[in-house]
Structure 1
Amino acid sequence: MPIERLERYFLWAAGAMVVAFFITVSVSAFVWGLQLPAPGGRVDPATLAQTPPFDKPELREIAPGQYEAVLTAQTWAFLPAKLEVPAGATVTFKITSKDIIHGFEIPGKRANVMIIPGQVSSVTVKFDKPGEYLYICHEYCGIAHHVMFGKITVA
């Protein structure tokens, strides 16, 4: 049974799209170094209040210009909800959830991770420009999801 001309065009187009997709993924991963974030560790959500460093969520200076922000997410809130760093600071966020799946995103920055109970998510961001940056939950977590955010002040 012969292949119709139009059918042949669609087969070639589909094959070209598969090749283009493969090239795009390969270049993204191996040339640009884009990778999915890996879990930064495991914790027990039931004992999170007694598990260091999540028993005291806060911002810590670990070296000049280097900070570590330990955050916990719970229903409709991030703890702590306010952070302040100097301009030029690099902040590594270590985040986990006490209850359900949440998200963490800083709009305008390359910070976007899922926050899963029992898993520690980690993302590093450099804040060059002074101003206020929000971190928001981008995963629907219930009726008050829209109020789940925090603020980073870069001075």
Structure 2
Amino acid sequence: MLAMLGAMMLVVLATGVAGALHPASNVEVVDPMTLHLKGEFVESNLGTAIEPDGSATVRIVAEQYAFVPDCVEVPADTPVKFRLTSADVVHGFLLPDTNVNTMVVPGFVAEVRTKFAKAGNYEMPCHEYCGLGHHAMWTRVRVVPAQTLSRKSPTERTSCARE
């Protein structure tokens, strides 16, 4: 009995240690020092892209104390993939009333998927404390009718940040 309890404790400990070494939902690594200069997260590639299959991919960079871009448009009733990374410290990415909730860790790309049933605006706060300006770090996701964005070319990025 004691041996069984010891073995179970060892499994719990090993699982905890192994799980703690991996940030939540990471799919790949990036260099936070150069992500604005080259690769997927350069500024011209941020925002929403409509993929050839009709789904949407949204790329966002979190930094103290903002998300870039600070507003994105996504199509309603369409699969949406969010790809995020951080340029500096750990941030949180949360869309209330959806299944989107992840940590955004420097050096890693977080990827989450969802589908918005209807058009509307979602406010998205950073839910991981990231410094003195944390309370003001939030952005918007604007869900629009799918036909509005389906006319965009795959190389064109959309954002509602300038409005």
Aligned equivalent of 2:115, options 126, 130, 134: 126
5+ long unaligned stretches in structure 2: 1-22, 145-163
* Greater Rg by CA: 1
Aligned 8 A contact 1:65 1:88 in 2: no
CA distance in 2, matches of 1:52, 1:141: 25
Give 1:55's aligned residue. Answer: 42
Residue of structure 2 aligned with 1:45, choices 10, 32, 35: 32
Query: Does 138-147 or 70-79 show the bigger shift?
Result: 138-147
Indicate which of 67, 70, 77 corresponds to 2:56: 67
Aligned to 2:127, which of 123, 133, 138? 138
> 1:103-122 counterparts in 2 under 5 A?
103-122=92-111
Equivalents in 1 of 2:78, 2:124: separation in Å? 16
**TM-score, with normalisation over the residues of structure 1?**
0.72
Q: Normalising by structure 2, report the TM-score.
A: 0.69
TM-fit CA distance, 1:144: 1.3
List alignment gaps of at least 5 residues for structure 1.
1-35
Distance apart, 1:37 and its partner CA: 5.2
**SS class of match (2:81):** strand
CA RMSD of aligned residues (A): 1.5
Q: Output the CA distance in 2 between the equivalents of 1:87 and 1:54.
A: 24
Detail structure 1 runs of 4+ shifted over 3 Å in the superposition.
none
Taking the aligned partners of 1:129 and 1:65, their CA distance within structure 2 comes to: 17
- The number of aligned residues is 120
Write the distance in 2 (CA, Å) between the matches of 1:121 and 1:44: 14
- If asked which structure has higher relative contact order (CA below 8 Å, sep 6+), I would say 2
